[in-house]
Amino acid sequence: MSILQEFEKSIVAQAEVFALKGNKSLALKTLRQLGLDAWGELLWNMPDHKYPGLSSILPKMSSESVQNAWTGTHGRSLLDATIPFVRYVLSVSNWRPNQISNFKVLDYGCGYGRISRLMMKYVEIDQIFGADPWDQSISLVHEAGFGENFKLTDYVPRKLPFDENSFDLIWAFSVFTHLSPIVAEKSLDTLSKYLSDDGVLVITLRPFEYWDLRSDIPSKTLKELRDSHYSSGSSFFPHNRSEVEGFGVTYGDTTISLEALGKLAPQFEILDIERCAVDPHQVYVTLKRK
C-alpha cells in the first residue's frame, strides 16, 4: 500500500533512528513532519519489518478482516474514506489555533481506533481517549497498543468513565447513523456533560437520501421509513440485534434531519455542517454546548 516519496522516507528513517534509541518523544515529533496522507500510510502498515523501532511505539493496525467487518472496506480505500473526516475535525478545531496538540480528545464509538491513529499526528497519545460499548472493540484497541485510556461503555450511556467537562474535542464517526432516536438523544445528553466549556462535538448523520440506497429493504418498509423521516425528521431500521432493557433494539440504520437533531439535542447549537464528497451519505455536523 505504501507509496511514500523520498523526502517522506527520509523523515521516517530519521524517526526510526530515534525510536531505536528509545526516544519515543523525539521519534514522534520527527514523524509529525509527515503530511496526513503519508502519516496514514505509515500507521496503516504497522507493524512494518522495515521499521522495527517505530513498530514498537506505534499502534498495530487491525487485520483486513477486522477492518472489513467494522467498516466495510480496508487498506487504501479505508484510509481515503477516513482522511476527509479527520481534515474536517481539524478545520473546526481552529477556534483555538495552534493548540490542538494540547487538546484532550475523546473518540466516541472508537471501534478499533482507525480515526485515533490519524489524530495521533496532532494530539499526544496520552491525551487521546476512547469509548465503545462493544468489548471486542476495546480488546482490539488495547491489543493495538492504545492503552487504558480506551474504555468500555454502556450501549445507552448515562455516564462515561471519564471526568466531566474535560474534553476539548469529541468526535463520533458513524455512531449516530446507527443509533435509534431515543438512544441518540440519551447519548448526546451524556456527551454534552463531558465537553469543556469551549469544547466541540463532531458527529456524522445520514440524510433522507440514504434510503434511496437501500434496495435490499422491502418497498413497504422503505415507504414507512421515508414517511417517518418526513413526519418526524428521523427514521430507524433496526438490525437483528439483542434488545437493551427499556430501549428495545438500539442499533440499526438511522437518518436524522438537522431539525430533528435540534429537538433531540436542545442543549447544543449547530456550529457547522459539511457533506462528505467521498461518502455523501455521511453528513459532518459540529455541535457546541449552549
> 36-44 and 75-92 are packed helices; what angle lies between their axes, rounded to 10 degrees?
140
Residue 182 domain-assigned? yes
**Same domain, yes or no, for 157 and 194?**
yes
**Same domain, yes or no, for 192 and 281?**
yes
**Same domain, yes or no, for 86 and 146?**
yes
Residue 181 domain-assigned? yes
Residue 238 domain-assigned? no
CA–CA gap between residue 179 and residue 174 (Å, rounded): 9
Q: How does pLDDT run along the chain (290 residues), one tens digit per residue?
A: 668 899 999 999 999 999 999 999 999 999 999 999 999 999 999 999 999 999 999 999 999 999 999 999 999 999 999 999 999 999 998 765 557 888 999 999 999 999 999 999 999 999 999 999 999 999 999 999 999 999 999 999 999 999 999 999 999 999 999 999 999 999 999 999 999 999 999 999 999 999 999 999 999 999 999 999 999 999 999 999 888 888 999 999 999 999 999 999 999 999 999 998 888 899 999 999 99
CA–CA gap between residue 191 and residue 113 (Å, rounded): 19
**Same domain, yes or no, for 117 and 187?**
yes
- Written as nine digits, the cell of 99 is 493548540
**Same domain, yes or no, for 22 and 117?**
no
Residue 34 domain-assigned? yes
Residue 229 domain-assigned? no
CA–CA gap between residue 132 and residue 187 (Å, rounded): 12
**Same domain, yes or no, for 104 and 18?**
no
**Same domain, yes or no, for 189 and 142?**
yes
Residue 210 domain-assigned? no
Burial of 161 (0-12, 13-18, 19+ CB in 10 A): exposed
Give the number of domains in the chain: 2
DSSP characters over 165-225: T-EEEEEETTSTTTB-HHHHHHHHHHHHTTEEEEEEEEEEE--GGGGGG-TTS-HHHHHHH
Residue 193 domain-assigned? yes
Host domain of residue 197:
69-205+264-289
**Same domain, yes or no, for 21 and 112?**
no
| pTM attached to this predicted model | 0.95
**Same domain, yes or no, for 174 and 281?**
yes
Residue 225 domain-assigned? no
CA–CA gap between residue 171 and residue 89 (Å, rounded): 8
CA–CA gap between residue 254 and residue 237 (Å, rounded): 6
Burial of 133 (0-12, 13-18, 19+ CB in 10 A): middle
**Same domain, yes or no, for 112 and 143?**
yes
**Same domain, yes or no, for 34 and 81?**
no
CA 10 to chain centre: 30
